[in-house]
Amino acid sequence: MILHNIFLGIGVLAILSNVASWILIMAALDRRGYRTNILLARFHFFKYMSAYKEATQKETGRTGLLFYLWIGSICVMAAAFLLAAFGP
């Protein structure tokens, strides 16, 4: 039972990390002159992610770290909740 709670806690932290990285990505796009709308963000998240990836690749030649934080938090969240649901 305690392992279940630990995995749920990790999953919740991953969700918070995902939301924080999403807000930081939108702020980075706004600084680069790309207009974003926080109310419509969940409908346009693939558009915003590709715009962030393109902008950072154009500036530095590499994809920005926030993109990898966003992807990584999704993977950790999925793994934690699967382990909480079906784990020991």
> Is the pLDDT at 88 greater than 80, yes or no?
no
Token pair recorded at residue 38: 């926080």
In three-state secondary structure terms, 32 is coil
Confirm if 11 and 77 have CB atoms less than 8 A apart: yes
Confirm if 19 and 74 have CB atoms less than 8 A apart: no
| Domain chopping of the chain, boundaries | 2-86
Which pLDDT band, with edges at 50, 70 and 90, does 76 fall under? Answer: very high
Can you give the pLDDT at residue 1? 76
Confirm if 88 and 32 have CB atoms less than 8 A apart: no
Structure confidence by residue, pLDDT tens digits, 16-48: 999 999 999 999 999 999 999 888 888 988 899
Exposure string of 66-85, with b = 16+ CB inside 10 Å and e = fewer, is: bbebbeebeebbeebbebbe
pTM for the full model? Answer: 0.85
